[in-house]
Amino acid sequence: MAKLIKEADIIEIKKTGSNKPSKRIITFSRNVFIPLTNACRNRCHYCGFRSDNPSLMEPNEVENLLLIAKNASEALFTFGEKPETDSKIRNSLLEMGYKSFLDYVIEMNKRAIELGKLPHTNAGILSYSELKKLKPWNASMGLMLEQAVELPCHNESPGKKPMERIKVITNAGKLEIPFTTGILVGIGERFDDDLYSIEVIKDLHLNYDHIQECIIQNFSPKKGTPMEDFPPPSIGRMIKIVREARKILPRDVEVQIPPNLVEDIRPFLKEGVGDIGGISDVTIDHINPEAPWPSIEKIERCLNGEFVLRERLPVYPKYIKRGWYGSMTEALIKKLSDNEGYRKGCRKPL
């Protein structure tokens, strides 16, 4: 009797182009982390990134980072939300000759493209027209949903109102922007809230087909913050959420975990994680500076021959084929991608 082909087998056949199931592919991207400013209008109780005395990176500092990141294909622009609400940042922008923070971000995106890196911008809450203005200069963009429920740790963070964030992710869908989102686990929510938040992400994707990956990120306490003594979620809880996320989300939304925030990625891969996000060999994770990136060699040792590691660009193959990336990134995407939509020159699965 013929063997029934399971859904998971079909995904593997699609991914490898072979007619028999093979090892699952785990993807990652090589990035350079560019924290443009630590100014932020929000005050999340777990945040160790924002500052009351913020600074703004000078264009030449940004260029230097882009130049030293020789292996990276992705320029990850991350910063606090609505930084121009801080007068020090407004003055710095004026001194540098920019009319708005958005103009400054676009200029930094342009420089990244000129230096061979594809921008992926995490800009916090933006309006439809602001997203539209940024889109041409970005291969993809992102905004963590974090949680679709209101929590005490966000009492001083207007930008963390779930509806505000859902609106941005919806507008990104309307604009056909390949999008990264996810949840932050262990910030005072219940297990059911985690599942509900993942359901919300699923619905957004079913409506607009634009979510390329859903990050399941564990809260990690930071010294000097109101939540410094708050216990981080256990590995058991994280594994359970990843397992449920894989069941809830459509198969074309990859489940991602940050490999620098868990001791061992293997149990997560076994539960369906298919992507480990951006890794840098020149910059730290500025949001979790205490957690260094593992080397590619260490990750390959963890995979133990059971999975195949493959490098992607900040935009997933599906959206490259569809042409949903920003128009100004097209030439670079064509230069950097192979005919399957992964990074050109990266190892193929065995």
How far is the C-alpha of 57 from the C-alpha of 74, rounded, in Å? 18
Burial (CB < 10 A; 0-12, 13-18, 19+), residue 234, is exposed
Describe the chain by its helix, strand, coil percentages, rounded to 5. Answer: 40, 15, 45
- Among candidate residues 54, 75, 56, the one with its CA nearest the CA of residue 65: 75
Count the site residues for ligand SF4 by CB under 6 A. Answer: 11
Print the binding letters for residues 68-87 with ligand SF4: x by CB under 6 A, - otherwise: ------------xx------
Which of 9, 12, 13, 42 forms a contact with ligand SF4 (CB under 6 A)? 42
- The distance of closest approach from Cβ of residue 31 to ligand SF4 in the complex, given in angstroms and rounded to an integer, is 18
Rule CB under 6 A: say whether 217 interacts with ligand SF4: no
> Tokens 């399941």 label which residue?
216
Least distance from ligand SF4 to the Cβ atom of residue 23, Å = 36
Q: Of 39-47, 165-173, 315-323, 335-343, which part binds ligand SF4 (CB under 6 A)?
A: 39-47
Residues 6+ apart with CB under 8 A from 91: none
- Of the candidates 28, 32, 35, 49, which one interacts with ligand SF4 according to CB under 6 A? 49
Choice between 81 and 254, CB closer to ligand SF4:
81
- Integer Cα distance of 89 and 36 in angstroms: 11
Applying CB under 6 A, does 225 fall inside the site for ligand SF4?
A: no
DSSP 8-state symbol, 159: G
Instruction: Tell me if 191 sits within 8 A of 155, measured CB to CB.
Output: no
In the block, tokens 């963390």 appear at: 160
Tokens of residue 328, six digits: 């100004």
Residue from 15, 24, 30, 50 that binds ligand SF4 (CB under 6 A)?
A: 50
- Near ligand SF4 in 158-187, by CB under 6 A: 159
In the range 119-158, which residues lie near ligand SF4 by CB under 6 A? 157
Q: Does 43 bind ligand SF4 (CB under 6 A)?
A: yes
Please tell me whether residue 55 binds ligand SF4 under the rule CB under 6 A. no
- Per CB under 6 A, which region of 40-48, 130-138, 259-267, 336-344 contacts ligand SF4? 40-48
Using CB under 6 A as the binding rule, whether residue 47 contacts ligand SF4 is answered as yes
Give, to the nearest 10 degrees, the angle between helix 162-174 and helix 191-208: 20
From 42-50, 168-176, 185-193, 336-344, span contacting ligand SF4 (CB under 6 A): 42-50
What minimum distance in Å lies between the beta carbon of 141 and ligand SF4? Answer: 15
Helices (H) and strands (E) counted in the chain, each on its own, are 12, 9
CB of 127 to ligand SF4, least distance (A): 17
Stretch that binds ligand SF4, among 44-52, 97-105, 241-249, 277-285 (CB under 6 A): 44-52
Q: Which is nearer to ligand SF4, 159 or 178 (CB)?
A: 159
Q: Where are the alpha helices (DSSP H) in the chain?
A: 7-16, 59-68, 87-96, 101-114, 128-134, 162-174, 191-208, 235-248, 266-270, 296-303, 317-322, 330-336
> Do residues 326 and 138 lie in contact, with contact meaning Cβ atoms separated by under 8 Å?
yes
Beta carbon nearer to ligand SF4, 16 or 181: 181
Structure tokens at 147: 């949680």
Instruction: Pick the closer one to ligand SF4 by CB: 160 or 210.
Output: 160
Note whether 40 binds ligand SF4 by CB under 6 A. yes
Q: Is 31 in the site for ligand SF4 (CB under 6 A)?
A: no
Cα gap 131→177, rounded to integer Å = 9
Closest CA to 26 of 340, 255, 295: 255
Binding site for ligand SF4 (CB under 6 A): 40, 42-44, 47, 49-50, 80-81, 157, 159
